[in-house]
Amino acid sequence: MLQEKALAILKSGRNVFLTGSAGTGKTYVLNEYITYLKARKVPVAITASTGIAATHMNGMTIHSWAGIGVKDHLTKGDLASMKAKKYLKTHLERVKVLIIDEVSMLHKNQINLVDIVLQYFKGNNDAFGGIQVVLSGDFFQLPPIGKPGETSKEKFSFMSEPWLKASLSVCYLTEQYRQSDNDLNLILNEIRQGGISDKSYTQLKKASKNELNEEKEATKLFTHNSDVDRINSEHLATLPGKPKTYSATTKGNKKLIETLKNSVLAGENLAFKIGAKVMFVKNDTEKRYVNGSMGTVLGFTDKGFPSVKLLNGKTVAAEIENWSIIDDNGKTLASYNQIPLRLAWAITVHKCQGMTLDEAEIDLSKTFEKGQGYVALSRLKKLENLQLIGLNEMALSVDRLAQKADSRFKDLSEDADNAHKLEELELQASSFISASGGITNPKEITKTKNRLKEKASGKLSTYEATLIHLKQSVTLKDIAEIRGLSVGTIAGHLIKIRKDHPDENLSFYKPKAAIIKQVKAAYNQQSKGSTISLNAIYSKLAGKVSYDDIKLAVAFF
């Protein structure tokens, strides 16, 4: 199924299982849907099975969101106690859409508990309390952590009762955005099918002799933390000079702060030297780097932050970033502030999930879990970018139950693709938004979109924040309302913005030629070289032109 159809099915309000091999854009589709819902003011919970996956989407773990923590079961007393907690009661009763990413790592028992909690808080015995649930993941990736001796049937979430009751529409994405039709893609597909060919196995073994770019020094992937910590410490110690250290700052609920500490890949205490190999661990709002961008510390800025030369040749100054857990009302429950970097001579396979690496040196000789080899290899785009250090029998194996389920998911996705036409889904989307209490008025949607954009771009100056709205030809009155400023202030912004961005087409705000002519004539009567005096122009025109129109006219001199 293509991304467009999957997104349309999501918008129709159906319960969905979004899946596909690594690199097919599952996270992209989820983020598009989240943006769509937020712009229409539909309460959406963004969660994931692990803290690492949750931080990729600025969400929280499903365990924290649902209040289940590490519990194995819930009594009536537990549920009543949970309902007495205001922060849980508020978001669980309001939510209309629940998203759970990396559902492959969510234990069957945990999805059962989420179902119980939602039924209780919603007073509805339908699956997940009758709200839309969107589950996303790939069961060939890392599996749930279970008790010793537990079978896959006892662990995988697709074997749970709520999964079956939810009547999920399966959207199996097929278009590959990471690997093209190359040798690596063929190998990954063979691993998914449960049997790698002799030819592919030989190609993988030959990858041990691949020569990677020495200047870039490829990231090393290991299956165990001890190997990663050892390699990074050894490399940092060989660099001259004293390390510059950074300590994270936190604020909010103590338990949620601990969740962030365990989830964010930028550690609580960081140390870097010039020459250190580093990796950005967060997407930049200005798109200078993404989660997984590699580089080398060139030096430190005047503010003391690392200046990083990326592999693409660009140099970026790393600054303090914020990771937050936010409730449905936009209130920050916990925040973690740190430089979005980590030492990257080596990282674990577990922590690389969700990343795309340019090159990697991978050691799979100690693989201890099915799916680790697939996750590690699928981080790359080409086989030539891999130097394989070691390989054991477990590394290329996949779970047989996951394999059978995947085949079934493909069939169900094809059925869903054939059953729904885009035009019909678009009509159903509007009905779903209305039923969820969201907004459907295009003007109101645009206002909300702009508020969200402005909130997301907290680093922008007030003028740049205004420019976001001006580019979309939003009226001055509406911009003022969105930004909480006066129309006069926004009109004044336009003067500076026109000066700083002369090539930007803002003719939508240009006053009538007659007004510009009048204002310019009054301005020309001022002393040469003096600054523009709006009061003087207003007096010269005897109040016949408003201050706001004078500002707009000046902007278009």
- With bands split at pLDDT 50, 70 and 90, how would you rate the model's confidence at 439? very high
| Per-residue model confidence as pLDDT tens digits over 12-32 | 999 999 998 877 888 889 989
Q: What are phi and psi of 321, to 5 degrees?
A: -115, 165
- Please report which confidence band the pLDDT of residue 73 belongs to, taking 50, 70 and 90 as the band edges: confident
- Specify whether the CB–CB gap between 70 and 122 falls below 8 A: no
Contact (CB, 8 A) for 521 and 514? no
> What per-residue confidence (pLDDT) applies to 459?
57
Going by C-alpha positions, the residue among 223, 185, 555, 214 that lies closest to residue 372 is: 223
Q: Does residue 289 register a pLDDT over 90?
A: no
- Residue 307 is classified by DSSP as E
| End-to-end Cα distance, the chain | 53
Distance CA 317, CA 300 (A): 8
Q: What integer best gives the mean pLDDT of the chain?
A: 85
- Measured CA to CA, the distance from residue 139 to residue 381 in angstroms comes to 21
84-93, 335-344, 414-423, 460-469: range with lowest mean pLDDT? 460-469
Q: Is the pLDDT of residue 58 over 70?
A: no
Locate 555 and state its tokens: 């902007």
**Residue 378 structure tokens:** 């699928």
The predicted-structure confidence for 164-205, as pLDDT tens digits, reads as follows 999 999 999 988 766 555 788 888 888 888 778 888 888 888
Strand partners, 536: none
- pLDDT score recorded for residue 89: 83
Cα 291 to Cα 271: distance, rounded to the nearest angstrom: 19
Confidence (pTM): 0.67
The amino acid occupying position 321 is E
Q: How many residues does the chain have?
A: 557
CA 529 to chain centre: 51
